[in-house]
Structure formats: C-alpha cells, structure tokens
Amino acid sequence: NRINGIFAEYEATGLSVANRDGKLHIVTDEAITFRSGSARLSSAERNAIDAMGEQLAGSNVRLLLEGHTDNKQFVSDSGSDNWDLSYRRAKAVATRLIRAGVSPENIIVAGAGEYDPLSDNGTSEARSENRRTEILPNPALGDLMNNN
C-alpha cells in the first residue's frame, strides 16, 4: 500500500499523524494557539515545537504550516490584516523548527486568514480556537500518479 508507505516516513521520525475532519494533521504535544492579534508563541508551545524539530532534524519529512485567525478585523490603515497575521503565525512555527534543525527546504508556510475556522467565531472561546497554526504532512504525492 503506497499511501501508507508515504506516511511511514513521518512515523519513523516519531511523529503521529491523525485525521481530523478529513484533513491529516501532525499531532503536537501542545496545541499551537495565539492571543488575539498576536503571532507570539508561548513558552510551552516553543518547547513542543523545539522537541518536534529535534525529532525531524536531518530527515526529509516535508511539512505545511498553515496559520489561521479569528474573524476580528484590524483597524483600517493599520498595515496588517488577517491574511498577514495568519502567515506570521505559521512563520513563527517555521522559524522555531528551522532553529531546531529542520531543513527550510522541507517547510512550506501558508496563511488561511479567517477563512478556515474550526468554530463559528460567535464567542470568545470559539474565536480562541480559530487562532492557531496547524502542522500538516506535505509528502510528495507525484509518485502515486506516475506509478498507476
């Protein structure tokens, strides 16, 4: 089964891959969430990301880091918006992983802005769930198509 073989490389590094609502995620020891308007990682999040980076150092495991925001808008003319903030959140995670030894060539940083929420943004608790960075497996899938 070639699909399982592709993800075996992730598991060989000690990472766990989980299906959440049809989307594969790499499980972290600490959820990577943010305060409103911030891209700053907490101490516990930095430690969890550093540990993951040490596991991945020297491997060829590819990752997609996807930043997200809630639906709260910035003050107009502030020079920033939720697209920028979501990208900065993902980049903060990428920077930590690279410092821990992950090759930058194996990381893609993306920002989804407010457009892929986990919750409805109707309460402060729901908005806090949406302020996150997700770590997704990003394997090269071209071989599946080429070997049919």
Q: At what angle do helices 43-56 and 82-99 cross, to 10 degrees?
A: 50
Position with higher pLDDT, 109 vs 11: 109
Position with higher pLDDT, 17 vs 84: 84
Confidence of residue 27 (pLDDT cuts 50, 70, 90): confident
**Percent of the chain with pLDDT strictly greater than 70:** 91
pLDDT of residue 18: 84
pLDDT of residue 2: 63
Supply φ then ψ for residue 68, to 5 degrees.
-140, 160
Confidence of residue 144 (pLDDT cuts 50, 70, 90): low
Sequence-distant contacts of 143-146: CB under 8 A, at least 24 apart = 143/2, 144/2, 144/3, 144/6
Residue 13 pLDDT > 90: no
pLDDT digits (tens, 9 = 90+) for 40-91: 999 999 999 999 999 999 988 899 999 999 999 887 777 789 999 999 999 9
Supply φ then ψ for residue 23, to 5 degrees.
-120, 130
pLDDT of residue 88: 97
Compute the average pLDDT of residues 3-12: 73
In contact, 64 and 108? CB cutoff 8 Å: yes
Could you please report the per-residue DSSP string of 26-42? E--SS--B--TT--PPP
